[in-house]
Copies of this chain bind each other. A is one copy, B any other.
Amino acid sequence: MQLRNQVEWALHCCGILAGVPDGRYLPTKALAEFHGVPKEYLSKALQALSQAGLVESTLGPSGGYRLARAPEAISFLDIVEAVEGKASTFVCTNIRFNNPCVPKGDCTSAARPCAIARVMWEADKAWRDRLKATTLASLGQTLMTDLDADTRTRIAGWVADHS
């Protein structure tokens, strides 16, 4: 089980978009060059973010994307679910219904999901809760300590040049 690479791209892009100057937009082309990924495919991830209402776009020259909300109001979970979907990682195919010991139609677990599924869904929730706990704002704070001042300045300059 592996998250698709779009997730990594989307997270990075949101991190960069958080640094776009007010009123400006950063186009797909710049984001693709910055991360070294195919522009056309990255575009699909950005469209997913757009449909989820996390970013907003505008057309034409000097068009592109920017965050639709404050970085404090965008969580990792928002971004992951925009790209990967909200469906649980565990899907129950109800193989218990084949169980020869449970009379047809008498499956009490039809009303209530079975014990195994409940545990798997709780684990899924623990994963999402952790993702929900980190926002783009907290990511930005971490990057302040991770990256040296020079690099931060260079990145800010690059973004300003391309937005």
Number of A residues with CB within 8 Å of any CB on chain B: 62
Knowing A116-B15, A126-B127, A146-B109, the reply to whether A101 touches B3 (Cβ < 8 A) is no
Within the oligomer, what is the number of copies of this chain?
A: 2
**Minimal beta-carbon separation of A11 from chain B (angstroms):** 5
Interface residues of A in 110-163 (CB under 8 A from B): 112, 114-116, 118-120, 122-124, 126-131, 134, 139, 142-143, 146-148, 151, 154-155, 157-158
A134 to B127, CA, bound (A): 16
A93 to B36, CA, bound (A): 11
Given B15, B87, B118, B147, which contacts A108 in the complex, CB threshold below 8 Å? B147
A residues contacting B by CB (< 8 A) are 1-5, 7-9, 11-12, 15, 33-37, 76, 84, 87, 89-93, 95-102, 108-109, 112, 114-116, 118-120, 122-124, 126-131, 134, 139, 142-143, 146-148, 151, 154-155, 157-158
